[in-house]
Amino acid sequence: MQLGFIGVGNIGTPMCRHLIEAGHTVLAYDIQTPNLARMVNLGAQGAESPKAVAQACDIVFSSLPGPREVERVALGEDGIIAAARPGLIYVDLSTNAPAVAQRVCAALAERGVTMLDAPVSGGVAGAERGTLAVMVGGNKQAFETCRPLLEHIGANIFHVGAIGSGCVAKLVNNMLAFVNTAAACEGVLLGAKAGVDPRTLYDIVQASSGASWAMRQFPQKIFAGDFTPGFTIDLAYKDLRLALEMGDELSVPLLMGSVCLNLLRQLRAQGHGGDDLSGLMQVVEAAAGVQVRVPPN
């Protein structure tokens, strides 16, 4: 089976590498020449366009920055649709808007292509380890065909429902992660300004009802003052904006999400868009006039 992979950036590269390491032949494409060259060095074959990938492959994966790029790769003049044929399966691993996934799926279906939306969670670290959570929406038979491939990149594979439902699950997950991060920053800062050792407070919360994934980043990131990017503020802003747009479409009030989006907007305005999500702490630190830092053990 010939596989294609479009978009071999920070997360796409390890996902594509896992497929190669599993013994699959992979034809890759990326708009950034250095990214593609790196992937070829890891064992992929290089292609010159998404169309070229689709022409040669049975299943095509993509990992792209957002909805605009997904539409361009899938439906553009030199995109997947230009080489569409019955039986081709397109699996988009990007964080996308559900409505865009549905629109792209419908356009490709007219040409015989089956699309799955399959966003992933776990970041670069999870992609490197092959332990991502993968949330899949779309045709169940196509999902079962692709499941063995997805198991090379993820440890938790979910079929969520119809096309677009994978995107819904991913946006809900990310909104919770971002809001939890903002709340964790405020809580730890409050305790620190009141005189409680931040590391002790961290240990207490992680052993108590306030524990969350968001707290796990404190020792390596916030306590160390390390806001270099893993998952950036810009990416978080994009994902949370998509979640709020979905809230608008469904008339669901997302009060906490809206507050968090403004915090992210503030950081971007201050030039911190390329920093790590943990940079949310810098906003509350500036407001309170205190920093939460813990010397390494």
Query: Where residue 55 sits, what CATH number does that domain have?
Result: 3.40.50.720
Q: Is 170 a catalytic residue?
A: yes
Residues 239, 196 share a domain: yes
pLDDT at 1: 84
pTM of the model: 0.94
Query: Do 22 and 68 fall within a single domain?
Result: yes
Residue 296 has pLDDT above 90, yes or no: no
The residue with tokens 């920070």 is: 10
- Tell me: do 102 and 192 sit in the same domain: no
Tell me: pLDDT of 25 over 90.
yes
Catalytic residue, chosen from 51, 140, 170, 221, is 170
Mean pLDDT of the chain: 96
Question: Does residue 157 sit within a domain?
Answer: yes
Question: Could you give the residue ranges of the DSSP H alpha helices within 207-254?
Answer: 233-250
Mean pLDDT of 49-73: 98
- In 3D space, the residue among 202, 198, 222, 200 whose CA is nearest the CA of residue 212 turns out to be 202
pLDDT at 109: 98
Considering only CA atoms, which of 55, 57, 54, 28 is closest in space to residue 41? 28
Q: How far apart are CA 281 and CA 181, in angstroms?
A: 9
Alpha-carbon span 174 to 95, nearest angstrom: 10
Domain presence at residue 220: yes
Residues 62 and 118 in one domain: yes
Is residue 295 in a domain?
Answer: no
What are 268's two structure tokens?
Answer: 């971007």
DSSP 276: B
164: left (phi over 0), alpha (psi -120 to 50) or beta: left
In tens, the pLDDT along 1-21 reads: 899 999 999 999 999 999 999
Distance between CA atoms of 173 and 145, rounded to whole angstroms?
26
Per-residue pLDDT band for 164 (boundaries 50, 70, 90) equals very high
Are residues 152 and 19 located together in one domain of the fold? yes
Over 80: is that where the pLDDT of 297 sits? no
Q: For residues 220 and 26, what is the distance between their CA atoms, to the nearest angstrom?
A: 35
pLDDT mean over 69-83: 98
Q: Render pLDDT for 241-276 as a digit per residue (tens, 0 to 9).
A: 999 999 999 999 999 999 999 999 999 999 999 999
Q: How far apart are CA 2 and CA 166, in angstroms?
A: 25
- Same domain for 145 and 211, yes or no, is no
Alpha-carbon gap, residue 132 to 16, rounded angstroms: 13
Please tell me whether residues 125 and 52 are part of one structural domain: yes
Measured CA to CA, the distance from residue 107 to residue 131 in angstroms comes to 32
Query: Which residues, including other chains, have CB under 8 Å from residue 142's CB and lie 6 or more apart?
Result: 89, 114, 116
- 3-class DSSP assignment, residue 48: coil
Q: What is the per-residue pLDDT for 295? A: 84
Question: Would you state the pLDDT for residue 80?
Answer: 98
Q: Is the pLDDT of residue 49 over 80?
A: yes
Whole-angstrom distance, CA of residue 41 vs CA of residue 177: 35
Assess whether 79 and 203 both reside in one domain.
no
Query: Is 192 in the same domain as 129?
Result: no
Does residue 53 form part of some domain? Answer: yes
Listed residues 128, 162, 196: the one ending a domain: 162
Q: Looking at 79-83, 134-138, 210-214, which range is the least confident one?
A: 210-214
The Cα-based distances of 171 to 33, 179, 230, 262 in angstroms read 30, 12, 18, 17
pLDDT of residue 38: 97
Question: Are both 123 and 268 inside the same structural domain?
Answer: no
pLDDT tens sequence across 202-243: 999 999 999 999 998 899 899 999 988 889 999 999 999 999
Tokens of 167: 């995107």
Please identify, among 129, 145, 162, the residue that sits at the C-terminal boundary of a domain.
Answer: 162
- How many domains, in total, are found in the chain? 2
What pLDDT, on the 0 to 100 scale, is given for residue 228?
Answer: 86
Task: Please enumerate in sequence order all residues whose Cβ is within 8 A of that of 144, keeping only pairs 6 or more positions apart, or say none.
Answer: none
Which CATH number characterizes residue 282's domain? 1.10.1040.10
* Domain-terminating residue out of 162, 196, 219: 162
- Which strand (E) or helix (H) includes residue 19? helix 12-21
Domain span at residue 200 reads 169-288
Residue at 6 is within a domain:
yes
pLDDT, residue 241, reads: 97
Shared-domain flag, residues 74 and 175: no
Q: Are residues 27 and 145 in the same domain?
A: yes
104 found inside a domain: yes
